[in-house]
Amino acid sequence: MLRLLLAGSFLGSAEALFSGDVPVVSIKGIQGQVDMPLLGLGTWLYNSSVAEGAVTTAFGMGYRHVDTAAAYKNQDGVGRALSKTNLPRDEFFVTSKISGGLSASATEATADQCLEDLGLPYVDLMLIHFPSAWDGNFSGKKYRQEEWKALEAWAKSGKARAIGISHYCSRQLDDILEIATVPVAVNQVQYHVGMAQAGRLSTDDRDYMQSKGVLYQPFSPLCGPCDPPANKELITGKLVTDIGSVYNKTGAQVSLRWLVQQGLPAIPKSSTAVHLKENFEIFDFKLSEDEMSRLSAATSPAVGGGPNPTDSGDCGVTEEEVTLFT
């Protein structure tokens, strides 16, 4: 079993130090609660061989959680790295994603292909990557509901422990909740220091998601896709490095700590060993209330690309206005 600690207990304890262990947050699975480690490794834009190398290095350090997707085209590399660890399947957590806008048969086929590429019998979490197809086609309630129902059926056969969505806004979540027979575990959206005050246009109605029991899972925790220099602000920026100097921690560690201290899992991406190690070492210090407030009050870096439905699933933007990133 995962040697992990509950986020609830960790969050309540100022002095906790968990060498080698990572706290977890519980998400709503198909058959009860599923524990997701609060820290994982992102793999977006990595090819198979970079992903294999990064997962191998990270898991060698103690990471037990990786985030990938069919669209990343690197799941074979992730799978090879996982296989090399020789870890029992219940000792690590894998998230994958299938594209939005898929028919029922394509949903099943794409999700099955993810398992085949990963070389795994099941994933811990399977997400629908986007509320429509990438090109904006197959958008709307009817298509969202069809794909969700097909994903439920697939997961219920034992191929995913939990299922969820990504880039959905509250209206789009409601489409799913109307017909869901298993919990929507997670909505994965862009969220990092700089966005807490960004409002509904950027933050996917976080409170609404959480009121429905859907874990708000941040992606791009270091603002990876932000345009320079904003993509360095959460690493070498004054706000995060000043706070980090109090604890002998780096800016990146402070940025990640701000998320996990709220009970939100962080999935920073790195293929650099020293960065992977740094990102893992965020559970041996605690930010003060004042520091958390200052980080929450930050208004930059803004959401990468500006508030838009591709990053936020913004409900204020109509289906027709959805802009595209591929």
Query: Where would I find the H helices in the chain?
Result: 7-11, 48-61, 75-85, 104-118, 141-154, 170-177, 200-203, 206-211, 230-236, 238-247, 251-260, 273-280, 289-297, 309-312
The piece of 9-17, 18-26, 143-151, 269-277 that touches ligand NAP (CB under 6 A) is 269-277
Active-site residue, 72 included: yes
State the binding string over 146-175 for ligand NAP (x if CB under 6 A, else -). --------------------xx--------
Q: Is 65 annotated as a binding residue?
A: no
CB of 83 to ligand NAP, least distance (A): 20
Here's the x/- map for ligand NAP, 68-107, by CB under 6 A: it reads as ----------------------------------------
Q: Which residues of 237-274 are buried (b: 16+ CB within 10 A; e: fewer)?
A: bebbbebbeeeebbbbbbbbbbbbbbbbbbbbbbbeee
Question: Is 233 an interacting residue with respect to ligand NAP (CB under 6 A)?
Answer: no
Cβ contacts of 105 within 8 Å, gap of 6 or more: 150
Binding of residue 132 to ligand NAP (CB under 6 A): no
Phi-psi domain of 308 (left: phi exceeds 0; alpha: psi -120 through 50; beta: other): beta
Q: Is residue 271 near ligand NAP by the rule CB under 6 A?
A: yes
Give Cα 223 to chain centroid, integer Å.
13
* Least distance in angstroms from the C-beta of 240 to ligand NAP: 11
Going by the annotation, the residues of the binding site for substrate are 129
User: Binding residues for ligand NAP, per CB under 6 A?
Assistant: 42-44, 67, 129, 166-167, 188, 219-225, 235, 252, 267-272, 275, 278-279
Residues with catalytic roles: 72
